[in-house]
Structure formats: structure tokens, C-alpha cells
Amino acid sequence: MSNSSQSSQDEVFQSRAIEAAIRISLLALLVVWCFNIVRPFIMPVLWGSIFAVALYPLFLKLQSMLGGREKLTATLMTLLALAILITPTVMLSQSLIESSKTLSEEIAAGTLTIPPPSEKVKDWPLIGEKLDKAWSLASTNLDAALEKFKPQLEAIGIKLLSFTAGAGAGILQFVISIIIAGALLVYARGGSEAMETIAGRVMGKQGGKDFVDIAGATIRSVAQGVLGVALIQSILAGIGLMVMGVPYAGLWAFLVLLLAVVQLPPILILGPIVAYVFSVAETIPAVIFTIYSIIVSASDAFLKPLFLGRGMDIPMLVILLGAIGGMILSGIIGLFVGAVVLAVGYKLLITWLAQNKGPAEEQAATEDTDV
């Protein structure tokens, strides 16, 4: 009797296990299928969410000025953001196209002339003599110089084309993300409540609210401390380049912006330009421009503490490490995701340590009272 009962229980267990495995497999298949469907939209939606969170305080101020009209406010902010993004992009693109067209026409007609190098170029450390020879050859016999450096020029051209294509795709993605951000701003309150509900299912009600607050504050902090500082550095660099009359100042300022966003020092762009300025300008203006370039490149050292981690109880070092580590791991989007994840992890660790610290303090206090 006991054997038949045991056999019946085994059959029921096996049947339930098989049924559970089938259900889990079907659920996993559905999740993977849904993920593959929405995967092309993940990056634009993430960027849109980041823009919406970063712009939300400004959205509230503008909304109050417009009498609480959410859709009108979101539309105006979206149009303004698109104008800020598209206008300089179009101007820079037109400038590059015209410059490239003029350069190619002059090369084809044989009218392109390169001025000879200054006597100072030969005295530059490490690269002075080689650069002087190559520059002199280009100024006297451009065809021979192009033929001599043809492999290097082709490699540079391929990289520039790849960079241009990537920049174009990135700008298109930002346009889509800004439009998504405008839509998210209209439903910001509902979205915040939905995020609190989802996070509350994992961390508890209070923990979910804390997570949403930390995530929003971290994104705004990184937007100010990383993107804001990068924008300030690029503007300052552009002013200095225009004052010194450096050709294509807008392009170099844009490259400074890209380097600053990915946490590389702008001196990588400004350094060669400083060398160029020394070869074409007087010594005193060149020295002043050199000092100015060094200050611009090092300005993030005192600008980031002013903006990064502002208004948060998370240390600035945690935010900075999260932003840099996230960028290394996941690219530009990792600046924000990494900072948010590390800030939340830090907050959970501090909460856990505080919870474990309480009983120990109570026990120590009791022992002191007994004594």
C-alpha cells in the first residue's frame, strides 16, 4: 500500500515538474521574443528617459509660467532642444562640405598652396625636424608629398568617413530621443509612479521611492557634472580659438566637446593647435593661448566638484567612479547608467551597514549601563 502511494506521489511530482518546466520555458521564450522586438528602441528610449529626467525641473518652472499647460510646455521644450541640437550641426556640416569642396577643387586644379613652415618648427622637441621636412615638401611640391604620405592619408580618410557616419547616426538617435523625452515629460508623474511601483515590488514601498529619487537626482547630477562641464570647456575652447584666428574653430570646439564628454582631456585637441599657433603667431600671444588652453583643459578639476553630486547625499567620488566605469563598460549611455547603479548600490550598502550597526550599539549601551 505504501509503495503504491509513494509511486503515485512520484508521478504527481514528475507531472508538476514537467508542467512547471514547460511554463517557465514558454515564459522565457515570450520574454526573449518581446526583448528582440523592442531592442531597436532601447537606446533611444533610454536617452529620452535621461533627457526627460534631466530637464524635468526646468519643465516644471516653464509649466508654471505657462499656466500649468503640460503639452504646450513639453512641445516648446522639445522644439527648443531640437533647435539647439540641429542648428549648430547644420552650420558645421555646411562649413565642412564647403571647405572640403574648395579643397578638392584646388587640389584638382593644382592651385592649392601651402605656406612654408616657420623657422620655429624645426626647434620643436621630438617631432620638429620630421615635421619641418614634411611641411617643406608639401609647400614646394604638393604632389610629391601626397604621393609619399598616400597610405597615411588613406587611413586617415577612412577613419574620418567612419567617424562622420557614426556622428550622423548618433545625431539622428539624439533627435529621436529628444522627441521621446518630450512625450515622456507630458506623462512624467504617471511614469514616476509606475517606476516607484515597479521598484517597490523589488525593494519595498519606501525602498522603491528612494530608488526613484536617487536615480533622478543622479541623472541630473551627471548631466550637470559631465555634459555641463564638457559644454563649458568646448565654449571656452571655441572662444580662444576664434580669438587666435585658428581655422575651423567650430570643428575643433566640437571635438573638444566630444573628448570632454568621454572624460578625455581637451589638451589632446588643443595641444597640436598650440603648436600650430606658435608657428604662425607672435611669441607672447602664443604663450598666452598656451596658458589659456591648459586652464581650459584642467578646468574640470574645479568645475566637477561644483556640479557633480550637487544636492545629493551620495559622495561625488561614487558618482564620478560610476560615470567613468559605466562609460568604459557601456559607452556614453554608461555615463548615466553606471552612475545610477553605483549610487543605488552605495545607498543600499550604507542602509545595510546602518541596520547591522543598530543592535551592536544597543548592546554596547546596555553593557555600559550594567557597569
pLDDT in tens, 31-89: 999 989 988 887 788 778 777 877 787 888 888 888 878 788 888 888 888 887 777 66
Write the DSSP assignment of 215-273 as a string of letters: HHHHHHHHIIIIIIHHHHHHHHHHHHHHHTT-TTHHHHHHHHHHHHHTT--THHHHHHH
Please tell me whether residues 159 and 72 are part of one structural domain. Answer: yes
Mean pLDDT of 222-247: 82
CA within 13 Å, CB half, 135:
16
What are the Cα distances from residue 324, in Å, to 225, 237, 320? 12, 23, 6
In a domain? residue 72: yes
> CA-to-CA distance for 176 and 46, rounded, in angstroms?
11
Please tell me whether residues 316 and 242 are part of one structural domain. Answer: yes
Window from 134-143, 196-205, 263-272, 343-352 with minimum mean pLDDT: 196-205
Mean pLDDT of 3-20: 76
In a domain? residue 325: yes
Looking at the predicted structure, is the pLDDT value of residue 365 above 50? no
Residue with cell 508542467: 19
Please tell me whether residues 215 and 317 are part of one structural domain. Answer: yes
Tens of pLDDT, residues 76-95: 888 888 887 777 667 666 66
- Given 156, 186, 216, the domain boundary residue is 186
Question: What local confidence, expressed as pLDDT, does residue 177 receive?
Answer: 81
Cβ–Cβ < 8 Å for 260, 229: yes
C-alpha cell at 282: 607672435
Please tell me whether residues 134 and 246 are part of one structural domain. Answer: no
In a domain? residue 318: yes
Question: What local confidence, expressed as pLDDT, does residue 368 receive?
Answer: 47
> CA-to-CA distance for 205 and 90, rounded, in angstroms?
47
Question: What local confidence, expressed as pLDDT, does residue 25 receive?
Answer: 92
Mean pLDDT of 297-325: 75
- Average pLDDT score, the chain: 75
Please tell me whether residues 170 and 89 are part of one structural domain. Answer: yes
> CA-to-CA distance for 124 and 152, rounded, in angstroms?
22
Question: What local confidence, expressed as pLDDT, does residue 33 receive?
Answer: 93
Please tell me whether residues 172 and 208 are part of one structural domain. Answer: no
> CA-to-CA distance for 361 and 202, rounded, in angstroms?
29
**In this structure, what is the dihedral angle of CA atoms 175, 180, 185, 186, given to the nearest 10 degrees?**
120
Question: What local confidence, expressed as pLDDT, does residue 366 receive?
Answer: 47
Please tell me whether residues 350 and 213 are part of one structural domain. Answer: yes
Looking at the predicted structure, is the pLDDT value of residue 329 above 70? yes
Looking at the predicted structure, is the pLDDT value of residue 287 above 70? yes
Mean pLDDT of 279-301: 86
In a domain? residue 136: yes
Please tell me whether residues 141 and 244 are part of one structural domain. Answer: no
In a domain? residue 220: yes
Please tell me whether residues 334 and 216 are part of one structural domain. Answer: yes
Residue of 178, 221, 256 whose CA lies nearest to 338: 221
Question: What local confidence, expressed as pLDDT, does residue 126 receive?
Answer: 66
- Given 133, 154, 186, the domain boundary residue is 186
Greater confidence (161 vs 231) lies with: 231
Q: Which of 37-41, 152-156, 367-371 has the highest mean pLDDT?
A: 37-41
Looking at the predicted structure, is the pLDDT value of residue 371 above 50? no
> CA-to-CA distance for 127 and 129, rounded, in angstroms?
6
Mean pLDDT of 185-198: 72
In a domain? residue 10: no
Please tell me whether residues 343 and 217 are part of one structural domain. Answer: yes
Q: Please count the structural domains in the chain.
A: 2
Question: What local confidence, expressed as pLDDT, does residue 246 receive?
Answer: 83
How many CB atoms within 10 Å of residue 215?
A: 21
Please tell me whether residues 57 and 139 are part of one structural domain. Answer: yes
Greater confidence (356 vs 146) lies with: 146
Cβ–Cβ < 8 Å for 332, 261: yes
In a domain? residue 286: yes
Question: What local confidence, expressed as pLDDT, does residue 30 receive?
Answer: 93
Question: What local confidence, expressed as pLDDT, does residue 223 receive?
Answer: 73
Greater confidence (314 vs 266) lies with: 266
pTM: 0.61
Please tell me whether residues 54 and 118 are part of one structural domain. Answer: yes
- Given 159, 186, 213, the domain boundary residue is 186
Look up the domain containing 337 and give its range. 204-354
Cβ–Cβ < 8 Å for 221, 311: yes
Looking at the predicted structure, is the pLDDT value of residue 369 above 60? no
In a domain? residue 338: yes
